[in-house]
Amino acid sequence: MMTIETDLPYSQHTLNNGIRLVHRHTNSPVAHCGIMINAGSRDETAKENGIAHFIEHCIFKGTKHRKAFHILNRIDGVGGELNAYTTKEETCIYAAFLNIYHERVLELFADIVFNSVFPSKELEKEKVVIVDEINSYKDSPSEQILDDFEQLIFANHALGRQILGTPKRVKSFTGDDVKGFIERNYGTNLMSIATVGAIDFDKWVGLCEKYFAAIDHKTPDRKRSKVKGYKPQTRIEKWDTYQAHAVVGGVAYDYNSEHRVGFSLLNNILGGGAMNSYFNMHIREKYGFTYALESNYTPYSDSGVFAVYAGTDAKYIEKTLDLIKREMTLFIDQPLSDTILKQYKQQMKGQLAIQYDSNQNEMLAMAKSILNHGKIDSLRETYNQIDAITKEEIFAVANEICRADRLSLITYLP
């Protein structure tokens, strides 16, 4: 019988300057490595909105030792892939490459994170690119509405601001603005480096020491504004589209909450993307109203977002929203049966195993987990957390998050 490896061996080390390292050995010829910084769009001032993402773009545009071409060619030129992303709470630079290039990747990461000079000519060119990226969202209402929904529920809070910022803000950024944000947020105590690859742990730590240990210990005095006083809101907008789009949901648990895993399971049951989710089976398959229907749960450090998205013909939007709320009411009115709960627990375990099968996904999860929790849970430990979920907990979290009087709604109507 096939067994799933659930006790993956993670090795950890912390440099003297506070940068945390986490490693898992594999026998694959391809390695994955990333440096994650606990700084994102929520750490911006209102005038800086969009600058964390702007930095993610411009960090590849030149250092004290390299021009942009040399940076981009350093990994891609040997068949690897260099990439980056920004969220509301993290910035990450990562790469996929052949195992023989671990040192090359670590040296490049150290150079671009700590030696970037942000030449004004390159900044101006990248502003054009980012403004185009912002404007492209106008052609993607299914993506734009999710950003607008977070703006709705986190009104007047940094978590509600869009990661990309606005064209006006982006065009105003200067090199001094960029350096000021980095100075306030790029602390060594707010960084982690993770790798999954065929390299000995001690050798990898030695390479990290070589390129990162000499960097001065830096602990910025940064305080994130807490999310307070959520009040459900409703907003309707006119859009020049064929479909109607809607998001219904509200605030949810943060990633330190004891209910995070339980609510993750509830979200998965409702509309987490599997073909047997309640929304898919009881709405999409039964009535055929909507092609796109799913729910998402995103935990942050002190709050979270629960969002159910639907895209459908305008004449079906009200019926679809009624059906979504009806499905959520099932979990509010009575607990799940033991049989159904067991079935969806097993499904969630299988989905996690498949996610772990991607070394890149695992590497990114390792970097984030060590940064936010100071540890890595093995797949077995995560399975144990899932097994511990009771039907009473599902009932309780549904009543706390999914009640009608807790839900906000945003709708784009043609």
Of 6-20, 206-220, 328-342, the poorest mean pLDDT is in 6-20
CA 283 to chain centre: 28
**Of 100, 118, 115, 117, whose CA–CA distance to 33 is shortest?**
100
pLDDT in tens, 60-83: 999 999 999 999 999 999 999 999
**pLDDT score, position 222:** 85
- Asked if 250 and 406 count as a contact pair (C-beta separation under 8 A), the reply is yes
pLDDT in tens, 364-409: 999 999 999 999 988 899 999 999 999 999 999 999 999 999 999 9
**pLDDT score, position 5:** 54
In sequence order, the β-bridge partners of residue 108 are none
Q: What domains appear along the chain, each with residue ranges and CATH number?
A: 11-212 (3.30.830.10), 234-413 (3.30.830.10)
Instruction: Identify which has the larger pLDDT, 348 or 357.
Output: 348
pLDDT in tens, 304-315: 999 999 999 999
**pLDDT score, position 356:** 86
Q: How high is the mean pLDDT of the chain? A: 95
pLDDT in tens, 130-145: 999 999 988 899 999 9
CA 244 to each of CA 271, 287, 293, 385: distance values in angstroms, whole numbers, following the listed order: 19, 17, 12, 38
Q: Is the dihedral of CA 192, 198, 200, 204 positive or negative?
A: negative
Tokens of 294: 């799913």
What whole-number percentage of the chain has pLDDT above 90? 91
pLDDT in tens, 280-304: 999 999 999 898 999 999 999 999 9
Instruction: Identify which has the larger pLDDT, 138 or 362.
Output: 362
pLDDT in tens, 395-405: 999 999 999 99
CA 97 to each of CA 36, 77, 177, 265, 362: distance values in angstroms, whole numbers, following the listed order: 18, 10, 33, 34, 15
**pLDDT score, position 172:** 97
pLDDT above 60: residue 3: no
Please report which confidence band the pLDDT of residue 123 belongs to, taking 50, 70 and 90 as the band edges: very high
Q: What number is the average pLDDT over the span 143-153?
A: 97
Please report which confidence band the pLDDT of residue 1 belongs to, taking 50, 70 and 90 as the band edges: very low
Q: What number is the average pLDDT over the span 18-40?
A: 97
pLDDT in tens, 220-252: 888 898 898 899 999 999 999 999 999 999 999
Please report which confidence band the pLDDT of residue 6 belongs to, taking 50, 70 and 90 as the band edges: low
